[in-house]
Amino acid sequence: MSIRVFALATSPRRHGNSETLLDGMLKAMEQHGADVTKHALTELKILPCRGCNSCEKNGECVIKKDDTKNILDEMIAADIVIFAAPIFCMGIPSQAKALVDRMQVLRSRKFVLEMPIVPKERKGKRIGVFLSTAGQDWDWVFDSTIPTIECFFGLQDIKKKEIRYLMINNVDKKGEILKHPTACNEAKLIARQIMGDIQALQEVE
């Protein structure tokens, strides 16, 4: 069975730096036989979490009329989950944060109701990737975002050691990523490496 890749371009700017980096990675993964699904968050309707905690009772969210449930289902079914985001004011954009906040439903299932997120046999056999770009050239510009990303992956049963990172700072204007000396090549290299890693993981009984 081919490797299922689920990718989210979460930037409000279409085809900007983080999405371009993502496209490069996805192309390389396709060349290695992956079955790729990509969504742009701008095309989806994701309402904010209401903090009502009713998911703690039945493991379901009360908000039904948006795309969150379908997106979470697709994400959990994938072998490789890629989250691409620019840095806005030292964090992920609010639109992306809205999706992460809505994953509270997974937290309730996992920690309150002790329900499985993925079947036992798929645990430890999935990989998460965080691709990010930032305009500032500070070395620490991604630091305060990483714990949120660990939550995003942790809530869907992808552990810290199963997350790969590619974070490129000092790219601000649209298209600047293409002029970066290493970014696009790194995306291809990491893609190849991840495809190798996931195949090896899945061969292990």
Partner 1 sequence: MSENEVRVIGLNGSPKKTGNTGKLLSSCLAGAEEAGGIVTKVHLGDLKGVSCLGCNTCHTLGRCIREDDITELFKEILAADLVIVASPIYSMSVTSELKTVIDRAHYLWAMKFRTFTLTFSDEHLQTHKGIFLSTAGMADPEVFKHSLPIITAFFNGIGVDYSANLLFEDMDTYGGIEKHPGALEQVYAAGKETVIAIREEKEKLR
End-to-end CA distance of the chain: 15
Query: What is the SS3 assignment for 193?
Result: helix
Q: Does 103 bind partner 1 (CB under 8 A)?
A: yes
- Span from 72-80, 86-94, 123-131, 156-164 in contact with partner 1 (CB under 8 A): 86-94
Which of 61, 72, 81, 98 binds partner 1 (CB under 8 A)? It is 98
Q: Does 20 bind partner 1 (CB under 8 A)?
A: no
Residue 68 contacts residue 99 (beta carbons within 8 Å): yes
Which of 51, 121, 181, 205 binds partner 1 (CB under 8 A)? It is 51
Output 104 or 190, the one with its CB closest to partner 1. Answer: 104
Say which residues have a Cβ less than 8 Å from residue 163's Cβ, sequence separation at least 6: 127, 128, 129, 130, 149, 150, 153
- Span from 31-39, 50-58, 69-77, 180-188 in contact with partner 1 (CB under 8 A): 50-58
Residue window 138-157: x/- pattern of binding to partner 1, with contact defined by CB under 8 A: -----xxxxxx-xxx--x--
Least Å distance between CB 50 and partner 1?
5
Say which residues have a Cβ less than 8 Å from residue 126's Cβ, sequence separation at least 6: 78, 79, 80, 81, 118, 157, 158, 162, 198
Angle at 103 between CA 57 and CA 174, to 5 degrees: 165
Q: Does 175 bind partner 1 (CB under 8 A)?
A: no
Which of 7, 21, 36, 100 binds partner 1 (CB under 8 A)? It is 100
Query: What is the SS3 assignment for 156?
Result: coil
How are strands ordered across the β-sheet holding 35-40?
35-40, 4-9, 80-86, 127-133, 163-168
Least Å distance between CB 6 and partner 1?
19
Angle at 128 between CA 130 and CA 61, to 5 degrees: 95
Which of 21, 28, 78, 104 binds partner 1 (CB under 8 A)? It is 104
Alpha helix segments (H runs only) across 39-161? 55-58, 68-77, 94-102, 104-107, 146-154
Using CB under 8 A as the binding criterion, the count of chain residues that bind partner 1 stands at 37
Q: Does 183 bind partner 1 (CB under 8 A)?
A: no
Output 20 or 28, the one with its CB closest to partner 1. Answer: 20
**Interacting residues with partner 1 (CB under 8 A):** 11-13, 16, 48-52, 86, 88-95, 97-98, 100-101, 103-104, 143-148, 150-152, 155, 172-174
